Amino acid sequence: GLLDCRRCRYLRTGRACCQTVEALLALLILVCSSVSYGSAGGYTGLPSLGGIYYYHYGGAYSGFSGADGEKAQQLDQRFYLLKLPIARAAMAVGGCLLVFSCLLVLVGVLRLAWHFPTWLLLECILDMVIAIGLVPALYYFFHFLLGVYNSSVCKEREQLYQSKGYQGFRCSLHGAEIAAGLSGCIAVVVYLLSAGLAVKGYRTVHKLKEKPVQL
């Protein structure tokens, strides 16, 4: 099949599988983080529609009018700005990890490790650095979000929507944020495994190069 060709055989190795999983996890982090980034406040006033307001979660509602509508819009915008820095940071991390994983797959397909075995040691170091770096990054991610949800802006916003009978605005982590965090946790394990496989690959290449006749 396609994976039987000389260069594509790398895609059948354990390292390639780990790097593919890393890319998928990075993509998931990027997508889940973009949910928070793409939410522009949630509640936008549309006076031209006869006092009907559009809410991006569920469609058009008319529960807010006048001062309440303006207050809801302001609270949404302030809440959005509070979450914006961590959303951008998470997207940047996800994007960088995605590019890095794809580059590793490309380097493996080009068989750079066979010509320069030292690359495998460098790859191991990079995987270890990323795995260790993700631990404080995840702590900061959840710590920042919990700080936002415990803020007075979020509490006031929650009370305002609940007073109008709207549900789903609780000051707690939502599914996309939890998924991004869990993806990061899984990524830590996968990067550690990938680092171990890189060391194993380095030893294998050295053994093969020491016995050229058997090749």
pLDDT single digits (tens) 34-52: 887 665 444 444 333 333 3
User: Do the bridges between strand 59-61 and strand 43-46 make them parallel or antiparallel, or are there none, so unpaired?
Assistant: unpaired
For residues 174-199, average pLDDT: 93
Q: Higher pLDDT residue, 135 or 207?
A: 135
Q: Higher pLDDT residue, 17 or 10?
A: 17
191: left (phi over 0), alpha (psi -120 to 50) or beta: alpha
Percent of the residues in the chain that have a pLDDT greater than 70, as a whole number: 80
**Token code pair at residue 153:** 């802006």
Backbone φ and ψ for 43, nearest 5 degrees, come out as -125, 115
For residues 72-85, average pLDDT: 87
Domain-located, residue 213: no
Separation of alpha carbons 149 and 36, rounded Å = 13
Domain-located, residue 52: no
Domain-located, residue 6: no
pLDDT exceeds cutoff 60 at 61: no
Q: Identify the pLDDT of residue 141.
A: 95
To the nearest whole number, what is the mean pLDDT of the chain?
A: 81
Domain-located, residue 8: no
Q: Identify the pLDDT of residue 166.
A: 74
Q: Identify the pLDDT of residue 4.
A: 52
Q: Identify the pLDDT of residue 65.
A: 65
For residues 64-89, average pLDDT: 83
Q: Higher pLDDT residue, 183 or 46?
A: 183
User: Within a 13 Å sphere around the CA of 157, how many CA atoms are in the beta-carbon half?
Assistant: 25
Domain-located, residue 187: yes
Residues 36 and 81: beta-carbon distance below 8 Å: no
For residue 78, what are the domain limits? 15-42+65-208
Q: Identify the pLDDT of residue 132.
A: 96
Q: Identify the pLDDT of residue 213.
A: 53
Percent of the residues in the chain that have a pLDDT greater than 90, as a whole number: 44
For residues 175-185, average pLDDT: 92
Q: Identify the pLDDT of residue 1.
A: 47
Separation of alpha carbons 34 and 25, rounded Å = 14
Q: Identify the pLDDT of residue 138.
A: 96
Q: Higher pLDDT residue, 119 or 39?
A: 119
For residues 18-47, average pLDDT: 75
Domain-located, residue 7: no
pTM across the whole model: 0.81
Domain-located, residue 56: no
For residues 63-84, average pLDDT: 80
Give me the number of domains the chain comprises.
Answer: 1
Domain-located, residue 9: no
